[in-house]
């Protein structure tokens, strides 16, 4: 009698465990969908910021070429980057 009861309860226990696994999968799917939606919503803004950074980088390089770096006060020299790194382009961002 106990054996029959145990045999009958095993499928219910397994069904409960698989139900929890499905719930975890649906939660992770929901999280992924939310993150993809956030990325899609912010993609244009990121591209716009990237374009602005490219423009600013060009302006900084142009100003640096016209400025006597030795004439800059010492406190401001510490704020300048030692070497300007090129910013990613739109095509670099599109690859991401």
At 6-63, the pLDDT tens digits run 776 676 666 665 555 556 678 888 899 999 999 899 999 999 999 999 999 888 888 8
**Dihedral angle at the C-alpha atoms of 33, 38, 41, 42, nearest 10 degrees?**
-140
pLDDT of residue 29: 87
Cα 74 from chain centroid (whole Å): 36
At 50-83, the pLDDT tens digits run 999 999 988 888 887 777 666 666 676 666 665 5
pTM above 0.75, yes or no: no
DSSP state of 64: H
User: Domains of the chain: which residue ranges?
Assistant: 25-58+69-96
DSSP state of 80: S
| Residue 88: count of CB within 10 angstroms of its CB | 14
Which parts of the chain fold into alpha helices (H)?
2-66, 74-77, 90-95
């Amino acid at each position: 009698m106990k054996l029959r009861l145990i045999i009958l309860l095993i499928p219910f226990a397994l069904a409960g465990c698989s139900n929890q696994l499905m719930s975890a999968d649906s939660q992770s799917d929901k999280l992924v969908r939310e993150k993809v939606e956030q990325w899609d919503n912010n993609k244009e803004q990121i591209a716009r910021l990237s374009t602005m950074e490219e423009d600013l980088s060009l302006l900084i390089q142009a100003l640096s070429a016209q400025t006597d770096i030795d004439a800059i006060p010492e406190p401001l020299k510490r704020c300048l980057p030692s070497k300007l790194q090129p910013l990613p382009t739109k095509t670099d961002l599109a690859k991401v």
